[in-house]
Amino acid sequence: MTSAPYALELKDLRKSFGKTEIIRGASLAVRAGERIAVIGPNGAGKSTLFNLISGRFAPTSGEVLLHGQRIDGMKPFEINRLGLSRSFQVTNIFPKLSVFENLRCGVLWSLGYKYTFLKFLADLHDANDRADELLRLIKLDRKRDVLATNLTYAEQRALEVGITIAGGANVVLLDEPTAGMSKSETRRFIELIKEVTVGKTLLTVEHDMGVVFGLAEKIAVVVYGEVIAFDRPEAVRADRRVQEAYLGAQSETHAA
Amino acid sequence: MAYYEFKPYNVGRWAVWSLFALVLAVAPLVFRSSLAHTMLSQMGIAIVICLSYNLLLGQGGMLSFGHAVYSGMGAFLAIHALNLIGKGTLPIPVSLVPVVGGLSALAIAAGLGYVTTKKAGTPFAMITLGIGELVFAMSLMFPEFFGGEGGISSNRVTGPKPLGITFGPQIQLYYLIAVYTFICTALMYAFTRTPLGRMLNAVRDNPERVEFVGYDTQKVRWLAFMISGFFAGVAGGLAALNFEIVTSEVVSGGKSGAYLLFTFLGGATFFFGPIIGGVLMTLALVLLSEFTKAWLLYLGLIFLFMVMYAPGGFASLVMMNLRVASFGRLKELWVSYLALFGTALVAFLGGAAIIEMLYHMQLNAGAGSQLEFFGATLDVNGFNSWFGALFVLVTGLGMFESTRRQFIVQWGEIQEYIEKEMKRRESL
């Protein structure tokens, strides 16, 4: 790891789609090893923020720094190789590959196999061991050879997280990992996320406040494309601006 | 099925590959006519082409309408190489001419493929179509290289003759093709089990996610495109040796269409599907076209039914029945299959009689109003022939539909049983 003070830093990040500015000067500085929950009303720009950080979209202006290195405008695979990985709100796996193959696809680049076609997968013991280890970690070892498309929804969400952490990235972004899960599934899943992201810098978009307080050490509140507060949960809860903006925006959505 | 095995030897795989080699070796001894040897040679070539096409379609989800560019350009460069060998300016043995075809197609695929594989999905298909047309148009514009209307011809009996092998007799050339077919098939199968091969599957399934696990999808597609181009070029080189003539037809859209069609018929979802496809392609192009003038129509109908009822091709039909057999339920289906086949045959006879009569009216009117059809004499001016054919067709279709409905119920019941059985075994 570099000597940069922050694992991930956003500086006055902006993104416009046509004339509409979705992200309007978001700034955030996350230290290595911190667990952050990103919250905010619907349409506040949380997912867009993740898309900008992970390279899915290029920002209109502003900077994104990963361990002090600028990554804004880079392609997703370049950012991934630098140690930042993300999951998706809508399950984004390889449906016609087995669970094991899904995980192994996530592992290959980080172990340096790149585009080789001169080695057999079966001989890559480190990749296979790592994929099997991940399989146990996300508790899908009994489903090893099942096609990903045939998994239950909760299992697919677990696989989604499994692929995300497979490459050993030290900054992990999870976009609503528990979306669509039942209460009990969510509780188990949060424990799983905690377990698999030990020692990593974690940012999670989350709607469920129970999850937010269970998982995060700090909360970033995004409203109208800006980070209006970033602090410990108690402090954020007490913040008047947050209460106003957040509750105001929420009553707006309810009215709509 | 697990791809990652701890067993040092996989007996099943050894058996399958040995059997494949044996079939290649013994086939010309069983089918001894010269027509059979010609067809077997063409089958080998077609197998390599269809497998190379499926590297794109089945493995990488790339629907190419221009695969003939690579097999065809491979063929042209191979035949030029053969002519150079004849002149004594190229010091390589004739048996390596297909490799020349492969390497030149690889170089062309590297250039054209770089542009093509920038995009996936529909834009990819459109670009391949455009490049296919471009190359075909060019083939008519540069007669020095493409030989114009007459094409480029050559003579494969040239250069050094180790152990007296001249490749003059078809049987000698067949064995050269068989060796290439076996090696190419093995190499392409091996490719599916390498990191790049697996990432190509991942790109097919979900290109977006691939970008987020560190891979450049364009590069994966490009590399796969080059490898596919190489094997297509090898097949083109084999074809150049086989026919000793290459015309601009080999880069035409029609050829590309045939590769697509037969790869699909064989089955793109399984590695061995295109092998079936290659065999079918040769049978259709050589035999079916001898039997009837309406062969393209029949081919179109088969394709249509396949897309509608068995989009996985023949390979998926085989695999589905193997699955049923592995659960011990295939025996009950025998009667149904017999009934399906019988009724389909009746419907086919009726339909084919009508098609043949129509073709006879349009193309052979000068030869009188009567034609032979499977031993029966049909008269295109007679009411009885038309009524009879229609009656057979409608009866056949009716019976087929009713057996098909029964079969669907029975099939569904067996599949349900298999699902349950698998769940039960899983929870053990």
Confidence of residue B1 (pLDDT cuts 50, 70, 90): very low
Chain-chain contact of A122 with B3 (C-beta, under 8 angstroms):
yes
Quick one: which of B308, B323, B336 has its CA closest to B409? B336
Nearest CB neighbour to A109, from listed B194, B215, B227: B215
- The reply to whether B95 falls in a domain is yes
Quick one: which of A220, A49, A185, A196 has its CA closest to A135? A196
In this predicted structure, what is the pLDDT of residue B219? 97
Could you give the CA distance from residue B175 to residue B167 in angstroms, rounded to a whole number? Answer: 9
Tell whether A75 is within 8 A of chain B (Cβ): yes
Q: Considering only CB atoms, which residues of chain B are within 8 Å of chain A?
A: 1-5, 190-191, 193-199, 201-202, 204-206, 208-216, 219-220, 223, 227, 426
Chain-chain contact of A95 with B213 (C-beta, under 8 angstroms):
no
| DSSP helix/strand/coil, A24 | strand
User: Whole-number mean pLDDT of chain A?
Assistant: 90
Does B268 lie in the same domain as B331?
no
Q: How distant, in Å, are the alpha carbons of B4, B136, B219 from that of B130? A: 40, 10, 21
Nearest CB neighbour to A101, from listed B3, B204, B213: B3
In this predicted structure, what is the pLDDT of residue A247? 62
Residue B371 backbone dihedrals phi, psi, to 5 degrees: -145, 155
Q: How distant, in Å, are the alpha carbons of A223, A253, A254, B113, B385 from that of A248? A: 10, 9, 10, 54, 82
The string of pLDDT tens digits covering residues A182-208 is: 888 888 889 889 988 999 999 999 888
Could you give the CA distance from residue B64 to residue B54 in angstroms, rounded to a whole number? Answer: 10
The string of pLDDT tens digits covering residues B175-199 is: 999 999 999 999 999 999 999 999 9
Chain-chain contact of B194 with A124 (C-beta, under 8 angstroms):
no
Whether the predicted pLDDT of B428 surpasses 80:
no
Does B359 lie in the same domain as B216?
no
Whether the predicted pLDDT of A97 surpasses 80:
yes
CB of B47 within 8 A of CB of B181? yes
The string of pLDDT tens digits covering residues B257-292 is: 999 999 999 999 999 999 999 999 999 999 888 888
In this predicted structure, what is the pLDDT of residue B87? 93
Nearest CB neighbour to A119, from listed B2, B5, B194: B194
In this predicted structure, what is the pLDDT of residue A1? 45
Does B362 lie in the same domain as B242?
no
Whether the predicted pLDDT of B2 surpasses 50:
no
Does B243 lie in the same domain as B280?
yes
Residues of chain A neighbouring B270 (CB-CB closer than 8 A):
none
Contacts of A146 (CB under 8 A, 6+ apart): A98, A99
CB of A207 within 8 A of CB of A216? no
Nearest CB neighbour to A115, from listed B190, B211, B220: B220
Whether the predicted pLDDT of A248 surpasses 70:
no
Nearest CB neighbour to A93, from listed B190, B194, B206: B206
Chain-chain contact of A80 with B213 (C-beta, under 8 angstroms):
yes
In this predicted structure, what is the pLDDT of residue B324? 93
Nearest chain A alpha carbon to B202: A94
Confidence of residue A254 (pLDDT cuts 50, 70, 90): very low
In this predicted structure, what is the pLDDT of residue A250? 52
Q: How distant, in Å, are the alpha carbons of A112, B226, B233, B304 from that of B106? A: 26, 5, 7, 33
- The reply to whether B313 falls in a domain is no
| Strand order across the A8-17 sheet | A20-30, A8-17, A61-66, A69-70
Judge residue B334's burial from the number of C-beta atoms within 10 Å of its C-beta, 0-12 exposed, 13-18 middle, 19 or more buried: exposed
Residue A221 bridge partners (DSSP) = A39, A229
Whether the predicted pLDDT of B88 surpasses 80:
yes
Which tokens belong to B428?
Answer: 């053990």
Could you give the CA distance from residue A146 to residue A11 in angstroms, rounded to a whole number? Answer: 43
Residues of chain B neighbouring A166 (CB-CB closer than 8 A):
213
| Structural domain count, chain B | 2
Could you give the CA distance from residue A68 to residue A6 in angstroms, rounded to a whole number? Answer: 7
Contacts of A166 (CB under 8 A, 6+ apart): A103, A105, A106, A107, A110, A130, A131, A134, B213
Residues of chain A neighbouring B214 (CB-CB closer than 8 A):
77, 80-81, 108-110, 167
CB of B234 within 8 A of CB of B47? no
* The domain boundary residue, chosen from B262, B286, B301: B301
Does B236 lie in the same domain as B149?
yes
CB of A26 within 8 A of CB of A228? no
Could you give the CA distance from residue A3 to residue A135 in angstroms, rounded to a whole number? Answer: 33
Does B335 lie in the same domain as B284?
no
pLDDT average, residue stretch B144-167: 88
In this predicted structure, what is the pLDDT of residue A242? 84
Nearest CB neighbour to A167, from listed B1, B201, B213: B213
Q: How distant, in Å, are the alpha carbons of B145, B159, B244, B255, B293 from that of B289? A: 30, 36, 22, 15, 6
Size of interface A-B (CB pairs under 8 A): 117
Task: Report helix angle B334-363 to B295-309, nearest 10.
Answer: 140
Does B283 lie in the same domain as B408?
no
DSSP letter string, B343-359: HHHHHHHHHHHHHHHHH
Nearest CB neighbour to A109, from listed B3, B201, B213: B213
pLDDT average, residue stretch B331-346: 93
The string of pLDDT tens digits covering residues B116-146 is: 999 999 999 999 999 999 999 999 999 999 9
Does B238 lie in the same domain as B97?
yes
The string of pLDDT tens digits covering residues A104-135 is: 999 999 999 999 999 999 999 999 999 999 99
Amino acid identity, position B282: T
- Residue B349's domain spans which residues? 327-426
Chain-chain contact of A75 with B211 (C-beta, under 8 angstroms):
yes
Does B332 lie in the same domain as B271?
no
Chain-chain contact of B215 with A128 (C-beta, under 8 angstroms):
no
What is the CATH architecture of A8-255? 3-Layer(aba) Sandwich (3.40)
CB of A220 within 8 A of CB of A230? yes
Does B339 lie in the same domain as B295?
no
B313 in the Ramachandran plot: left (φ > 0), alpha (ψ -120 to 50) or beta?
Answer: left
Judge residue B375's burial from the number of C-beta atoms within 10 Å of its C-beta, 0-12 exposed, 13-18 middle, 19 or more buried: exposed
Task: Report helix angle B68-87 to B217-243, nearest 10.
Answer: 50
Residues 18-57, chain A, touching B (beta carbon < 8 A) = 54-55
The string of pLDDT tens digits covering residues B103-122 is: 999 999 999 999 999 999 99
Chain-chain contact of B195 with A106 (C-beta, under 8 angstroms):
no
Q: Which helix (H) or strand (E) holds A84?
A: strand A84-86
Query: Higher confidence at residue B103 or residue A224?
Result: B103
Chain-chain contact of A75 with B208 (C-beta, under 8 angstroms):
no
Could you give the CA distance from residue A207 to residue A237 in angstroms, rounded to a whole number? Answer: 15
- The reply to whether B146 falls in a domain is yes
Question: What percent of chain B is predicted at pLDDT more than 70?
Answer: 98
In this predicted structure, what is the pLDDT of residue A175? 93
Q: What is the pTM of this model?
A: 0.92
Does B385 lie in the same domain as B286?
no
Chain-chain contact of A120 with B219 (C-beta, under 8 angstroms):
no
Contacts of B355 (CB under 8 A, 6+ apart): B294, B297, B298
DSSP letter string, B62-97: ---S-THHHHHHHHHHHHHHHHHHHHT-S-S-GGGH
Chain-chain contact of A105 with B208 (C-beta, under 8 angstroms):
no
Could you give the CA distance from residue A157 to residue A171 in angstroms, rounded to a whole number? Answer: 19
Chain-chain contact of B201 with A119 (C-beta, under 8 angstroms):
no
The string of pLDDT tens digits covering residues B6-63 is: 445 678 889 999 999 999 999 999 999 999 999 999 999 999 999 999 999 999 999 9
The string of pLDDT tens digits covering residues B386-396 is: 999 999 999 99
Amino acid identity, position B313: G
- The CA radius of gyration of chain A, in Å to the nearest whole number, is 19
In this predicted structure, what is the pLDDT of residue A206? 87
Q: What is the CATH number of the domain that holds B117?
A: 1.10.3470
Does B377 lie in the same domain as B231?
no
A204-218, B85-99, B245-259: range with lowest mean pLDDT = A204-218
CB atoms under 10 Å from CB of B8, counted, come to 5
Chain-chain contact of B202 with A104 (C-beta, under 8 angstroms):
no
Tell whether A162 is within 8 A of chain B (Cβ): no
The string of pLDDT tens digits covering residues B296-332 is: 999 999 999 898 888 999 999 999 999 999 999 999 8
CA atoms within 13 A on the CB side of B336: 16
Confidence of residue A144 (pLDDT cuts 50, 70, 90): very high
Confidence of residue B5 (pLDDT cuts 50, 70, 90): very low
Quick one: which of B279, B231, B244 has its CA closest to B98? B231
Amino acid identity, position B169: P
The string of pLDDT tens digits covering residues B51-84 is: 999 999 999 999 999 999 999 999 999 999 999 9
Which tokens belong to A25?
Answer: 């000067």
Distance from the first to the final alpha carbon of chain A: 47
